[in-house]
């Protein structure tokens, strides 16, 4: 059946088909809390000056079969301005499913609709999960683009909760967990589980935002409460999600004050470990590992199935769930460069960068490696190993623009 397309400029309008949207979301098996209308509406309210929302709806009969909310803005690459489209929620939506039940041909027509309505150089969709059991419909869009890129964003560690979790974890994590528990008990702090509702979410967010503000995230300005715009975004989103019973928090309290926390979203039996922070003076307690263990124990009690890390760095991730993971899920970034002159230029620059970057990285590694003087054989002393140097990630032409990404929220 051919799809009928419609454009809207707001998800918050009184006549927006909220019930049809929710029905579509539930039909897409890989949906996440970041696809909820509550999260999307809060994201819309937090749009900055110069950002405009355009929502493409696709109908088949009376059923909504596609919803793609796109934010149009101007971003700079190499100092030059280009018109770019992102999925609403970027960059704080940690995992998204593309909300569509259309076949490949209708998805292709959706791209044509986007190009006619919203001329752009680049359309980029971040943190998309792969649809279970079927080919991704976006492969059609790659073929229709002047340059197309499907790039791995991260491999998220996940833990399948099982009866084995009732036993103490083995190996090095057991030692670290025991030591952290002893330190926490010695200072008199206590772990508490919280399921906030709409009325209690605000005061709780205030408490945890104060912890983040004085943590390293606050110092570096990379937290989810980093500025007033993001703070408003988080307040509205989590209050609305708490009203739906989707928010879970585990906190470590000392004398009634929160000194460490983990903030998560729960849906379909899957807990997304979204954000954590601790007061710097209590850094040596090891509270993050204890609170992660509390997630797992809570999951056993309430019959959750999964604990996910929500999002991590692609390389050198320090998330503690790596110690307990039973599998991984992949997030992908899809980039579609248009056939407009700006899209052709940006796509060409990307291809040139992809050719040059490996050689540049090798050259930098050679220059950064310390010179090693060969040791005479008679000395029988092994030569020192060259120090491994972590190279800074290149942002230009890799789609990581001025927006801050968080390796571990």
Please answer whether residues 73 and 84 qualify as being in contact, where contact means their C-beta atoms are separated by less than 8 angstroms: yes
Q: Cβ neighbours of residue 15 under 8 Å, at least 6 residues apart? A: none
Q: 313 lies in a domain?
A: no
Token pair 């307690």: residue:
285
56: domain CATH number is: 3.40.630
Please report the pLDDT score of residue 382 as a whole number.
39
Q: 317 lies in a domain?
A: no
Average of pLDDT values for 328-337?
Answer: 96
The answer, yes or no, to whether residue 130 has pLDDT greater than 90, is no
Q: 237 lies in a domain?
A: yes
Distance (Å, whole) CA 217 – CA 406: 10
What is the residue-averaged pLDDT of the chain?
89
Average of pLDDT values for 132-143?
Answer: 79
Please report the pLDDT score of residue 374 as a whole number.
53
Residue predicted with more confidence, 106 or 136: 106
Residues 151 and 29 in one domain: yes
Average of pLDDT values for 73-97?
Answer: 96
Residues 189 and 67 in one domain: no
Q: Tens digit of pLDDT for each residue in 97-106?
A: 999 999 999 9
Residues 109 and 174 in one domain: no
Residues 253 and 125 in one domain: no
Distance (Å, whole) CA 319 – CA 321: 5
Q: 61 lies in a domain?
A: yes
Average of pLDDT values for 39-58?
Answer: 97
Number of domains, the chain: 2
Average of pLDDT values for 26-31?
Answer: 94
The answer, yes or no, to whether residue 408 has pLDDT greater than 60, is no
Residues 122 and 262 in one domain: no
Residues 300 and 265 in one domain: yes
Residues 14 and 119 in one domain: yes
Average of pLDDT values for 149-158?
Answer: 95
Please answer whether residues 266 and 194 qualify as being in contact, where contact means their C-beta atoms are separated by less than 8 angstroms: no
Residues 70 and 183 in one domain: no
Q: 370 lies in a domain?
A: no
Q: Tens digit of pLDDT for each residue in 242-292?
A: 999 999 999 999 999 999 999 999 999 999 999 999 999 999 999 999 999
Average of pLDDT values for 59-75?
Answer: 97
Where in the sequence is the domain holding 104, given as residue range(s)?
A: 4-155+331-350
Please report the pLDDT score of residue 400 as a whole number.
35
Residues 263 and 342 in one domain: no
The answer, yes or no, to whether residue 35 has pLDDT greater than 90, is yes
Q: 208 lies in a domain?
A: yes
Residue predicted with more confidence, 106 or 379: 106
Residues 207 and 134 in one domain: no
Q: 316 lies in a domain?
A: no
The answer, yes or no, to whether residue 202 has pLDDT greater than 70, is yes
Please report the pLDDT score of residue 364 as a whole number.
84
Please answer whether residues 191 and 241 qualify as being in contact, where contact means their C-beta atoms are separated by less than 8 angstroms: no
Confidence of residue 314 (pLDDT cuts 50, 70, 90): confident
201: domain CATH number is: 3.40.630.30
Please answer whether residues 202 and 234 qualify as being in contact, where contact means their C-beta atoms are separated by less than 8 angstroms: no
Lowest mean pLDDT among 5-9, 127-131, 296-300, 331-335: 127-131
The answer, yes or no, to whether residue 140 has pLDDT greater than 90, is no
The answer, yes or no, to whether residue 380 has pLDDT greater than 80, is no
Q: What is the pTM of this model?
A: 0.86
Percent pLDDT > 70 in the chain is 89
Percent pLDDT > 90 in the chain is 79
- Tell me which residue of 156, 158, 126 sits closest to 330, measured CA to CA: 156
Residues 245 and 110 in one domain: no
Residues 8 and 150 in one domain: yes
In degrees rounded to 5, what are phi and psi of residue 192? -135, 140
Which contacts qualify for 223-231: CB closer than 8 Å, 24 or more apart? 223/275, 223/277, 223/406, 224/92, 224/274, 224/275, 224/406, 224/409, 226/404, 229/46, 229/48, 230/46, 230/92
Single out the residue in 269, 289, 304 at which a domain terminates: 304
């Amino acid at each position: 059946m051919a799809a009928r397309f419609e454009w809207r400029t707001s998800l918050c309008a009184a006549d927006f088909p909220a019930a049809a949207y929710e029905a579509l979301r539930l039909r897409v098996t890989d949906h996440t809390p970041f696809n909820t209308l509550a999260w999307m509406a809060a994201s819309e309210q937090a749009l900055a000056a110069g950002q405009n929302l355009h929502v493409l709806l696709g109908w088949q009969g009376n059923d909504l079969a596609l919803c793609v909310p796109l934010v149009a803005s101007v971003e700079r690459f190499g100092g030059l301005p280009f018109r770019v489209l992102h999925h609403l929620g970027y960059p704080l939506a940690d995992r998204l499913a593309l909300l569509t039940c259309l076949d490949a041909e209708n998805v292709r027509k959706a791209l044509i609709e986007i190009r006619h309505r919203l001329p752009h150089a680049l359309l980029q969709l971040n943190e998309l999960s792969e649809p279970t059991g079927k080919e991704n419909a976006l492969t059609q869009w790659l073929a229709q683009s002047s340059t197309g890129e499907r790039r791995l964003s991260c491999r998220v560690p996940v833990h399948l909760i099982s009866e084995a979790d009732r036993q103490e974890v083995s190996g090095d994590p057991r030692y670290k967990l025991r030591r952290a528990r002893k330190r926490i008990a010695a200072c008199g702090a206590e772990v508490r589980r919280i399921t906030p509702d709409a009325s209690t979410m605000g005061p709780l967010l205030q408490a945890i935002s104060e912890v983040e503000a004085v943590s390293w995230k606050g110092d570096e300005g990379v937290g989810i409460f980093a500025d007033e715009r993001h703070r408003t975004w988080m307040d509205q989103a989590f209050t609305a999600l708490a009203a739906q019973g989707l928010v879970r928090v585990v906190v470590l309290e000392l004398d009634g004050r929160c000194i460490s926390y983990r903030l998560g979203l729960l849906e379909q039996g899957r807990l997304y470990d979204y954000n954590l922070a601790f007061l710097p003076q209590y850094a040596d307690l090891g509270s993050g590992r204890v609170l992660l263990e509390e997630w797992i124990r809570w999951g056993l009690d309430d019959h959750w199935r999964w604990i996910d890390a929500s999002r991590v760095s692609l390389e050198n991730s320090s998330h503690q769930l790596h110690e307990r993971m039973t599998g991984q899920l992949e997030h992908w970034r899809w980039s579609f460069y248009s056939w407009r002159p700006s899209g052709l230029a940006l796509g060409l620059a990307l291809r040139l960068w992809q050719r040059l970057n490996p050689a540049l990285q090798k050259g930098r590694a050679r220059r950064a490696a310390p010179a090693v003087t060969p040791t005479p054989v008679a000395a029988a002393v092994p030569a020192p190993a060259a120090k491994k140097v972590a190279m800074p990630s290149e942002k230009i032409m890799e789609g990581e623009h001025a927006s801050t990404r968080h390796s571990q929220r």
